[in-house]
Chains A and B, each alone.
Chain A
Amino acid sequence: MAEKVLMKGNEALAEAAIMAGCKYYFGYPITPQTEVAAYMAKRMPKIGGTFLQAESEVAAINMVLGVAACGKRVMTSSSSPGISLKSEGISYLAGCELPALIVNVQRGGPGLGGIQPSQSDYFQALKGGGHGDYKLIVLAPASIQEMVDLTFKGFDLADKYRMPAMILADGTMGQMMEPVSLELGEVKEYAKPWATTGKATHEGRNIINSLSLSPAQLEEWNINRYERYKIVERDEVMYEEFMMDDAETCVVAFGITSRVAKNAIMEARKRGMKVGMIRPITLWPFPKDALKKAASKVKNFLTVELNMGQMVDDVKLAIDCSKPVYFYGRTGGVIMTPDEVLNKLNEIEKGEAKQW
């Protein structure tokens, strides 16, 4: 095994991007993700890459579009309000069928909100954010090692399916430090015959565009894209099961809250309560089948989130509302303790909890 190093989430993610072959970074500082930009500013010149602090988030995402159109791996990062600004560009990336990695180190919202961690951009990442018929591959790291691994994976998936991918992290994942291994294997290269790399490299004209003059053609593009999304949903779902074998209550949590939930579950187990967890690693594609399978065995579901319950409906849909779904969340930058989750599990067991 490679020797480990101690890294902050934001730095680890930036280094993983470089190792994935990303030589172009465009961003704008915002807490709690600024270390990504600071790290890129230091590292990019050393590897012959480009770091550019744009005049705004809107400019940065459109620079990303330009580089992606040239077939190069490119990344931008921000935190919640900045992602709102980038959303138009993200929609254009999707419309242009361009691969790129967008990183959201979430903070409290809405509006300017605060700088402490949250998961309240779940809807933004999963249900649009930008306009039009599109999806993002959304990856939710729960450790600094996953900040590394999923960044590497994110670039690969984006290239493979020619679509933008997002790392949906939170302030804690960005700021905390853990030992990581940076042994990531080979970067897989994908042919990009569509890239605008000049006539010396391809026949005819390559045009990157999201505008269609014909409604029928635009419809066809959208239908084709959704055909590709079906393949992603079939082949790329990632999740972790934790103590699910005999579980009667299934906690569903991602990112930082899955760590709180894990501690609560271990405590619940000590008290004889049969609790397990399904942790989505890909939020899109959502682990629908795993949840559906669990629904045939467990009595209850509990989603634990740093928001007002944005994932609850997705769990309900995945299990066809066949079992009660409860919710426990904190928001605005507050992180729950394992005891709070344990209390909720107790309420559920005693039949005192209200369904969401």
Chain B
Amino acid sequence: MFDKRVTVFMGHYGSGKTFTAVNYALALAKLGKPVSIYDLDIVNPYFRTVDALETLNKNGVELVVSPFAETNVDIPAMNAKSYKMVDDKSRFAVADIGGDDRGALALGRFADKIKEENDYDALFVVNPFRPETRDVEGAIQVKEEIERAGKLAFTGIVNNANLGLETNIEDVLKGLEFAEKLSKVTGLPIKFSAVRRDLISEKTEIIKEILPIDPIKYGDWL
């Protein structure tokens, strides 16, 4: 974790990329690194990185997001500043890409420069409690579709097994097992497990790398 200048999070729709990317960026900032998070989501109308804007600002993380995110403007737009992700090599860059191959299309235009610089991780965020990635075959299909659309091959896997607020530690460990199977078939290493902070205990000690997750607060009605 944290060893590459550019970290791109991609995965199946609803796999938890935004939660993971936001918490990863915050963790980088806590290590004192200059970091920007690039919201390249051209799919979701609601539940975006902007929900975490206050927390990100407070912790010195720069958010680059379409000015139309969470407004009534229904346009799959990106912020022009997104090019900083590849052009400004003085800062760490975390990219939150929209779900599936449809979302990964947005990454395509940056892929060549990312590969040229060759200081990146492209991480496949997987939640086996999402029906379409509940088995290895399903996950591999999604993986290949994303790689084709995003023009970037994955370099690692993130275990993000969760059932929202109902997640327990057994779910996380089941996810780890799943990620290990996926790792064996694809040859990709497991980079880390994203685990809600309150679930981290002696039971999670068997997980090598953990990124603690503080959920983004959307509203009191959740």
Binding site for B on A (CB under 8 A): 4-8, 11, 15, 31-32, 35, 108, 113-117, 171-172, 175-179, 256, 259-260, 263, 333, 335, 337-338
| Binary contact readout B69-95 vs A (1 if CB under 8 angstroms, 0 otherwise) | 010101000000000000000000000
Q: Are A15 and B72 in contact (CB under 8 A)?
A: no
| Binary contact readout B191-222 vs A (1 if CB under 8 angstroms, 0 otherwise) | 00000000000000000000000000011111
Q: Are A260 and B220 in contact (CB under 8 A)?
A: yes
List 19 A-B residue pairs with CB atoms under 8 Å apart, sorted by A's residue number: A4-B163, A5-B130, A6-B14, A6-B129, A8-B13, A11-B14, A11-B131, A15-B131, A32-B46, A116-B46, A116-B72, A171-B45, A172-B46, A172-B221, A175-B47, A176-B47, A178-B164, A178-B165, A338-B221
* Residues of B within 8 A of A (CB-CB), count: 24
Q: Are B164 and A335 in contact (CB under 8 A)?
A: no
For A177, the chain B residues whose CB sits under 8 A away are: 14, 164
Q: Are B221 and A6 in contact (CB under 8 A)?
A: no
How many interface contacts (CB-CB < 8 Å) are there between A and B? 73
For B127, the chain A residues whose CB sits under 8 A away are: 6
Q: Are B221 and A175 in contact (CB under 8 A)?
A: no
Q: Are B221 and A256 in contact (CB under 8 A)?
A: yes
Pick the contact of B221 from A8, A11, A259 — CB < 8 Å?
Answer: A259
Are A115 and B45 also in contact (CB < 8 A) when A176-B222, A260-B221 are?
yes
For B222, the chain A residues whose CB sits under 8 A away are: 176, 259
**With A and B bound together, what is the CA distance between A241 and B44 in angstroms?**
34
Are A5 and B47 also in contact (CB < 8 A) when A177-B14, A179-B164 are?
no
Pick the contact of B131 from A5, A113, A172 — CB < 8 Å?
Answer: A5
**With A and B bound together, what is the CA distance between A113 and B71 in angstroms?**
11
Q: Are B134 and A5 in contact (CB under 8 A)?
A: yes
Overall SS of chain A's interface: mixed
- How far in angstroms is the closest Cβ of chain B from A92? 29
Q: Are A335 and B221 in contact (CB under 8 A)?
A: yes
Pick the contact of A333 from B72, B163, B219, B221 — CB < 8 Å?
Answer: B72
For A11, the chain B residues whose CB sits under 8 A away are: 14, 131
* Smallest CB-CB A-B distances: 4 pairs: A114-B72, A179-B163, A259-B221, A175-B46
Pick the contact of A179 from B129, B134, B218, B220 — CB < 8 Å?
Answer: B129
Q: Are B46 and A6 in contact (CB under 8 A)?
A: no
| Binary contact readout B34-51 vs A (1 if CB under 8 angstroms, 0 otherwise) | 000000000011110000
Which residue of the partner chain B has the closest CB to A174?
Answer: B46
Whether B166 sits at the interface, judged by CB under 8 Å, is yes
**With A and B bound together, what is the CA distance between A260 and B218 in angstroms?**
12
Q: Are B130 and A108 in contact (CB under 8 A)?
A: no
Whether B162 sits at the interface, judged by CB under 8 Å, is yes
Q: Are A4 and B166 in contact (CB under 8 A)?
A: yes
Q: Are A115 and B72 in contact (CB under 8 A)?
A: yes
Are A171 and B46 also in contact (CB < 8 A) when A176-B222, A335-B221 are?
yes
- How far in angstroms is the closest Cβ of chain A from B107? 19
Most interface-central of B72, B220, B221 (chain A CB within 10 A): B221
